[in-house]
């Protein structure tokens, strides 16, 4: 019984730390290009998202009618990288995904996803995201 209680406390501590890792990894709003960041500053983030683009924040990947919530984040010990388990949702579908996120520079994060890109929509969770200074998530 003591082992189960100890394991429960350890699991709660690990899961409780996951949001802190996500916030350490992703501080702010990231979009798929610096041009999209400029457009979001000039027009609005909503306009950029309504055009079919995705946003990366500490919460996960978000777009109009699509999101991937980061449910567990594990920080690598030797590199500026994280392993992320996510639950992705779009109308009529919910599926898991596993991503690696690597900080390439102070303003760029690269994502690699096990979820293959959809040949019809071209969408996928992988790619490069760039920090958008002065843009806030809704």
- pLDDT tens figures, 68-106: 999 999 999 999 999 999 999 999 999 999 999 999 999
- Given a cut of 70, whether residue 4 has pLDDT beyond it is no
Model confidence at 5, in pLDDT bands (50, 70, 90)?
Answer: very low
Distance CA 134, CA 83 (A): 27
Q: What is the mean pLDDT of the chain?
A: 84
The helix/strand/coil state of 92 is coil
pLDDT at 115: 78
Model confidence at 125, in pLDDT bands (50, 70, 90)?
Answer: confident
Question: CB neighbours (10 Å) of residue 36?
Answer: 22
Better pLDDT: 100 or 118: 100
Q: Quote the pTM value.
A: 0.80
Q: Any idea where the domains of the chain sit in the sequence?
A: 2-131
């Amino acid at each position: 019984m003591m082992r189960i209680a100890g394991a429960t406390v350890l699991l709660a501590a690990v899961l409780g730390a996951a949001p802190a890792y996500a916030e350490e990894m992703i501080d702010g709003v990231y979009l798929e290009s610096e041009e999209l960041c400029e457009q979001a500053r000039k027009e609005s983030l909503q306009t950029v998202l309504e055009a079919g683009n995705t946003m990366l924040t500490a919460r996960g990947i978000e777009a109009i009618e699509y999101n991937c919530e980061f449910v567990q984040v594990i920080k690598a010990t030797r590199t500026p990288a994280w392993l992320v388990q996510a639950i992705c949702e779009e109308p009529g579908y919910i599926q898991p995904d596993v991503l690696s996120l690597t900080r390439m520079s102070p303003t760029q994060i690269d994502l690699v996803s096990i979820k293959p890109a959809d040949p019809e929509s071209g969408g996928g969770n992988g790619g490069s995201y760039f920090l958008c200074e002065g843009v806030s998530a809704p």
